[in-house]
Every structure is written in C-alpha cells, then in structure tokens.
Amino acid sequence: MNAPETAFITTTDELAALCDRLASEEFITVDTEFMRERTYYPELCLVQLAGTGDVAVVDAQAKGIDLAPLGALLAKQDVVKVFHACRQDVEIFLLLFGAVPTNLFDTQIAGMAAGFGEQIAYDPDSGQLLSGSFMDYFMPRAEHQPPITLIDCGVPSPANPLGAKGAGEAGATGSVPALANAVLDALKAVNVRALDMPYTSDRIWRAIQKARG
C-alpha cells in the first residue's frame, strides 16, 4: 500500500474537509510545532495530522485560517488521538479551544506501561494464554503516572560548523530506558544487575531472592 501524499493545509475549507475525513477514523496521529522563546504562552505554528488515508500539515499561521474544525475533531470522543510526549501539545490545544483533547494515547506513557507490567504471556507447559484480559495483568491508570522532568543536555555535533544535528521525536524512546535505569539502580544494592521487563512486583521479588542465594 502506497503512503498518501502529504497535503499542506492553508485555508479553513481545506481544514474542514480534512477533519471531516479524519472524524471517521478509529484513531489519528497528532503533533504540533510551536514557538515560545519570546512569549509566555506557546504560539502554534504547525499541526501535523494523519489517518489511514491522509497525511497533512496544517499551517496554523496562514492568513484567515480558522482552526475551529480541528477543535471539533479533537473533542470527538470516538476518535483516539495518538501523541508522543503530549504535555505541551495538550497545553496548546487547551489555550486555543478551552478544552483538553479527549481520548488521548500518549506513547511516552505507553512506554511506562510496557515497563511496569503489560505483556503477552503463555504457560510454558500448556501454551495457554495467561494474559487474555485486563483481569490478568497491570492496567495503567492516570494515578500510576509519575511526574516527568525533561532535562536538555545539548552536545554540539563535531561534524559541521553549526554543531547541528538531525533528530526525530519519539516519546516512547526515553521513558522505557529511564524506567529501566531507575529500577536497576534501586536493585543495585541487593546485587541485581539485570532484569527483563516488565518489572512486576513478583519478578522483582524473585530477582532479589535469586541474588541473595
């Protein structure tokens, strides 16, 4: 299947037509680009949207564009909105539309869930699926999400005079190793040096007992 061509949206009519199509999707992906170096609140510049048949970049600074169709799409509860590390995206939409987008899926939080207990498991003897429902393993909820502090560690590239690097954004990339490092750092005192995810209480307890002999 060929990927759809990227559409560049600069008018309200184009945005409304795009949002009408995306409103029928099971889920869409959303990302923003913004500036806030010289302002207290972020200034939205671009919104990137995608569904199964659409990939679009919305110019939020285009003259005369009304972002109301986007606000209606983000408020539609039966469409899941997939973000990565969406704290600042949510802030922007709250300021624009007065409401937080509903039905969010944040890949950064999904990384935490993968580390704490979500897994597909089978009985080694019978082959029976052991995690066939949410009754059988950890279901992450909002209260399980710890505070997230972002620390920028700028290291200039030696490959060009500007020291610039190309980079992609992936919210799940940082949360999983951060969780692993925290767990193994805590277990270092009892000589546990390696442990496979997910870090369930049973798996941690067994690792401690094994290390103690």
pTM of the model: 0.69
The set of residues, in sequence order, having a beta carbon less than 8 Å from that of 173 and lying 6+ positions away, is 111
pLDDT of the residue at 171: 59
Domain boundaries, the chain: 6-102, 110-153+169-212
pLDDT of the residue at 172: 63
Query: Can you tell me the mean pLDDT for 151-180?
Result: 73
> Going along the chain, which residue ranges are E strands?
6-9, 27-35, 43-50, 55-59, 80-83, 104-106
pLDDT of the residue at 169: 58
Question: What is the rounded average pLDDT for all residues in the chain?
Answer: 86
CATH for 6-102, options being 3.30.70.270, 3.30.420.10, 3.40.50.300, 3.40.1190.20: 3.30.420.10
Closest to 50 in 3D by CA, of 21, 28, 20:
28
Domain 110-153+169-212: give its CATH architecture.
2-Layer Sandwich (3.30)
User: pLDDT tens digits, residue range 59-87?
Assistant: 999 999 999 999 999 999 999 999 987 88
In a 10 Å sphere around its CB, with 0-12 CB exposed, 13-18 middle and 19+ buried, how is residue 71 labelled? middle
Task: For residue 173, give the amino acid letter.
Answer: T
Secondary structure letter of residue 170 according to DSSP: -
The set of residues, in sequence order, having a beta carbon less than 8 Å from that of 199 and lying 6+ positions away, is 115, 116, 117, 179, 180, 183
Angle at alpha carbon of residue 68, lines to 63 and 69, rounded to 5°: 105
Greater model confidence, 212 or 146: 212
